[in-house]
Copies of this chain bind each other. A is one copy, B any other.
Amino acid sequence: MENEIIYKIVLDTFSSTIKRASKLIESFSDEQLSQEVSASKNTGHYLLGHLIAVHDNMLPLLGFGESLYPELLEIFVKNPDKSELPKPSIEQLRTQWNEVNNTVLSQLKSLTPTQWLAKHTAVSDEDFAKEPHRNKLNVVLSRTNHLSYHLGQIGLLKN
């Protein structure tokens, strides 16, 4: 079916953006990632945790089961960098980054075209009937752009 190529393109775009982010993150030492991306802005440490938490949250959102590290939401999404909440170490986050992304991507690869267009779990059946665009495809597009947004910031840590 024609649409299969579309889902492949969308998934490949998400996957290659993750690869690009991973490469960048791996190129930085823990000390470099501890820096702010710009004066008085978020650190690479916070942004890394933030991205993991957002991707991890895709698991329940897309009906793939529970998040692997639900505690990250409080530290890295509901609170700012300077909250003083203790953060997992960068070393730990590097491992979680790979684990969460591998889990999300492998689940996405299993979606059928019908599932791609099905509603995500944060929209009711009634609302979805009126807003059929609130589907899993839309979530993946949105998270890819979210990742790109922060990748642009993390890239500023390069000397």
**CB of A88 closer than 8 Å to a CB of B:** no
Contacting pair A6 B6 (CB below 8 A)? yes
Contacts of A5 in B (CB 8 A): 117, 132-133
**CB of A2 closer than 8 Å to a CB of B:** yes
| Contact A146:B148 (CB < 8 A) given known A3-B3, A12-B133 | yes
Contacts of A115 in B (CB 8 A): none
**CB of A17 closer than 8 Å to a CB of B:** yes
Contacting pair A133 B9 (CB below 8 A)? yes
Contacts of A9 in B (CB 8 A): 133, 135, 137-138, 141
Contacts of A145 in B (CB 8 A): 13, 17, 144-145, 148
Query: In the complex, A38 Cα to B39 Cα: how many Å?
Result: 7
